């Protein structure tokens, strides 16, 4: 399923475009690190390729250098982000590029972090020709979650809601009801695959008993699963719910400091300062290294996210049924008490049809 416009195809340089495709292979496993891809080119021909596959593993440049072996000497390295210049869990990529004898480096975008940044200067000082791509935007889109976390301290938040044609999220308040059918599940699975963590409210976990896993069209679970997060509140699921017992993905509970939560001993409970509300909860997820977070809210959590302006991208999946006026609305409150909510607007940025459902992606309004 393709839910988002293909910004990578706007990149003119075929080697930088290839580096973006390689970087994408790490999606879902590199957090807290960014996605990075690298291509080594000699005499106009690709002689080595690599991408960063998981945090703690070799960086893209090092993978591409070892793929190219001796052909790296005198080659041009095309990399989606400025090579790092610091000792983190692995040695600096700038040192590896200098030692391998590459003649030129072209990077998609600058590294904004203080620790790892400065690679361009180091390479130039070593006599390597260095330049940035003319338009950094596609490279920023690749890493929008990581960029958001390192610049604001909280993850990029994508919110997904599944509704009927008349905008209802459940047939009755508090009931489990799929508004979007099997094709809606395919879209949800794709959004989860692109995320480091999937968050639900305690009451949704209690009444829906969801698995929150990435599954294929036949229902088989993927090998790599995002972390499942239950936002503890008034209602909480039973200790026997699937999230706490099926062991199919890492699972944790996010609870305000000082509150009681009744969860099995094996489930981690992460605390956030309750007075900071949802923003505090998201900051704690940022501190834990989650770059991209998908939230699948019910009405109450959706209203909080909307009112606190915490939605960076909203994906509405609309199924073809009508649920009627007794069903649960996406936004639960009375018209005249929510003037601020009604004045906030998002703008549609992408739309597609997946099987029998319609998918609209909304971004922050530019006006
Ligand atoms: N169609 C869909 O896409 C979809 C998706 C999910 C759920 N649903 C449906 O929605 C219904 C459940 O909705 P719901 O409104 O009961 O629950 P919900 O919105 O999923 O979850 C509410 C939870 O979020 C917490 N929360 C909300 N605002 C918060 C804030 N500012 N700070 C900290 N915690 C906050 C609440 O804690 P407190 O209780 O302490 O306030 C509560 O635990 C079910 O029928 C479910 O099937 C539909």
**pLDDT tens digit string along 55-93?**
999 999 999 999 999 999 999 999 999 999 887 777 889
Cα-flanking dihedrals φ and ψ of residue 99, to 5°?
-65, -35
Task: Give the active site residue among 49, 61, 190, 296.
Answer: 61
Does the C-beta of 333 come closer than 6 Å to ligand 1? Answer: no
Least confident of 116-125, 144-153, 191-200: 116-125
Q: What is the chain's mean pLDDT, rounded?
A: 93
What pLDDT, on the 0 to 100 scale, is given for residue 278? Answer: 96
For residues 321 and 174, the answer to whether their CB atoms sit within 8 Å is no
Cα of 205 from ligand 1 centre, angstroms:
9
For residue 190, is pLDDT > 90?
yes
Q: Record the pTM.
A: 0.94
Does the C-beta of 213 come closer than 6 Å to ligand 1? Answer: no
Cα of 333 from ligand 1 centre, angstroms:
14
**Best mutation site among 233, 279, 280 for ligand 1 pocket (most ligand atoms within 8 Å of CB):** 233
For residues 67 and 41, the answer to whether their CB atoms sit within 8 Å is no
Which residues 6+ apart lie within 8 Å of 256 measured at CB? 232, 271, 272, 273, 274, 281
| pLDDT tens sequence across 305-358 | 998 999 999 999 999 999 999 999 998 765 556 677 778 899 999 999 999 999
């Amino acid at each position: 399923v393709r839910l988002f416009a293909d910004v990578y195809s706007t990149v003119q340089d075929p080697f930088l475009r290839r580096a973006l495709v390689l970087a994408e292979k790490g999606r879902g496993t590199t957090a807290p690190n960014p996605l990075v891809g690298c291509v080594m080119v000699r005499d106009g021909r690709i002689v080595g390729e690599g991408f960063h596959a998981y945090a703690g593993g070799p960086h893209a440049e090092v993978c591409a250098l070892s793929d190219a072996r001796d052909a790296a000497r005198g080659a041009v390295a095309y990399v989606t982000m400025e090579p790092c210049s610091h000792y983190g869990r692995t040695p600096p990529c700038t040192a590896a590029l200098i030692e391998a004898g590459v003649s030129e480096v072209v990077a998609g975008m600058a590294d904004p972090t203080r620790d790892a940044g400065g690679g361009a200067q180091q390479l130039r000082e070593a006599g390597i020709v260095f330049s940035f791509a003319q338009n950094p935007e596609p490279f920023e889109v690749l890493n929008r979650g990581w960029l958001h976390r390192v610049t604001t301290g909280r993850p990029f938040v994508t919110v997904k809601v599944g509704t009927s044609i008349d905008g209802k999220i459940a047939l009755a308040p508090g009931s489990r009801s799929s508004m979007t059918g099997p094709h809606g599940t395919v879209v949800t699975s794709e959004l989860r695959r692109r995320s480091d963590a999937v968050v639900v409210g305690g009451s949704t976990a209690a009444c829906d008993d969801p698995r929150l896993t990435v599954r294929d069209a036949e229902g088989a679970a993927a090998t790599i699963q995002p972390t499942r997060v239950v936002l503890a509140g008034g209602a909480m699921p039973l200790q026997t719910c699937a999230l706490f017992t099926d062991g199919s993905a890492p699972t944790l509970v996010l609870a305000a400091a000082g509150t009681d939560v009744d969860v099995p001993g094996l489930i981690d409970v992460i605390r956030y300062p309750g007075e900071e509300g949802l923003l505090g909860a998201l900051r704690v997820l940022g501190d834990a290294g989650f770059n991209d977070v998908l939230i699948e809210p019910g009405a109450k959590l959706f209203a909080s996210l909307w009112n606190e302006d915490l939605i960076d991208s909203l994906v509405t999946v609309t199924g073809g049924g009508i649920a009627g006026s007794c069903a649960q609305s996406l936004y639960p409150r009375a018209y005249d008490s929510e003037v601020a909510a009604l004045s906030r607007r998002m703008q549609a940025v992408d739309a597609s049809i997946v099987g029998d459902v319609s998918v609209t992606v909304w971004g922050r309004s530019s006006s």
